A and B are shown apart, each in its own frame.
Chain A
């Protein structure tokens, strides 16, 4: 699903965010990306989303070589990937329902189809009753769950999450992680970036550890 082949990323100004990183994430796998802040986790996710381009090496995601992806193809590539942001990135000028519906609107779904999928996604994260509220009225944990519903509403093949539990207490964090597992069980590949090692059961998951831009540890024990 994701393949990095000696990938480097150097930002203008000379900062080396990633150095010669190579790994492979199989379809249907659940992986964690860990490391201290500044180790390159966000950069790696940005390369997977093609928000940034690699300075060297090959990035292949969902069968597509991102070095060769044109500007025209980019939106269609991103529709197959769901992203959960640390700061939710919800729009406060519309309801919870409309926030979750946005990826479907963008992809041009019919209204009937979209409504059905939005309700299913909201039901999954336990927020169906709050579909008509403005997300600003929700708690942090609820907002994050709206973000997750939006990330999965389009049934992506790959789910990325950048510090999804960053601002949540342990109990809520566990709930969020449980949701990710449920999506993984129906076949979605999941990659979660986090420095919260307490969340990770290293015996079950593929773990990628970054330190100063290098992949220092890679374990797969399942």
Chain B
């Protein structure tokens, strides 16, 4: 920068060295944090309120995520049983199997011949003797079709398509409970999203109100700073950082609560899942999720603080 010739009123005023924007922000950020730590009791209380409000929806979301993973492990439940035409011989059955397994939606096809079906039925039904009296096998050959897991939701479509084959008599899907599970999960997801939005709003308001009190407490200082030439940005900055620290502190409390909840729940939940025959591991909060939670919490904090700052600082004018 070139020095311009000083005017008469400015001749005594050397251009002062300025602190950088970054340095000023850093100082204010540290100072705001110290102010919160200087009152550990009330700060911890606020952090806990925010932490609980954040932990609740995050726990529910993680629970849903786990349920969906569980769902992914259950794809064998989405089989289609194809009851074939009675008159198909062994060779024709093998051909049908080859054709169906070649379809992109299908991952596996198991053949159960009419004889195998009969044997199985005799063993498991207790009607063995009665069946021996029949001179003809009344059971059709069966193909059990397992679709790829990504086609699980379009099972009915696949079933209809298979049923239209000439060699298939009828196709049966036992889907109802999966559909119900999906419906419940979808509903739960919606509820969780709504809850997350509401609690997020609650966090914004809680931080906004706390920052409003902080602004009131420093009213004299704000008036003075405005009189000696503090810009609106300068006056607002410490309170925006206060909001961020309330948010981030609340986020840390939330992470602690979530880890605690998962530690307590993982034992019983694993037992429950073993009963369902699943080799299933509980997915908790990973590092990137935790980071996202902290960033979100800090973001909610700055939004809450911003609202208070906009409302309050205009009101505090030196008169």
Contacts and interface: CB of A to CB of B under 8 A. Distances in A.
Interface residues of B, number: 25
A155 B228 contact: no
A79 interface: yes
Interface residues of A, number: 34
B228 A91 contact: no
A125 interface: no
B319 interface: yes
Contacts of B220: 89, 91
A103 interface: yes
Contacts of B42: none
A77 B228 CA distance: 9
Interface string A91-132: 101000000001110111111110000000000000000000
Given A109-B18, A155-B12, A157-B9, A76 B229 contact: yes
Contact of A112 (B17, B229, B317, B319): B17
* Interface core residue of A46, A89, A104 (most chain B CB under 10 Å): A89
A103 B12 contact: no
Contact of A110 (B18, B226, B318): B18
B224 interface: yes
Contacts of B73: none
Interface of B: 8-10, 12-13, 16-19, 24, 220-221, 224-232, 234, 317-319
Interface of A: 27, 46, 49, 51-52, 62, 71-72, 75-79, 83, 89, 91, 93, 102-104, 106-113, 150, 154-155, 157, 186-187
11 contacts: A51-B319, A52-B319, A76-B229, A89-B227, A104-B16, A106-B225, A106-B229, A110-B16, A154-B229, A155-B13, A187-B12
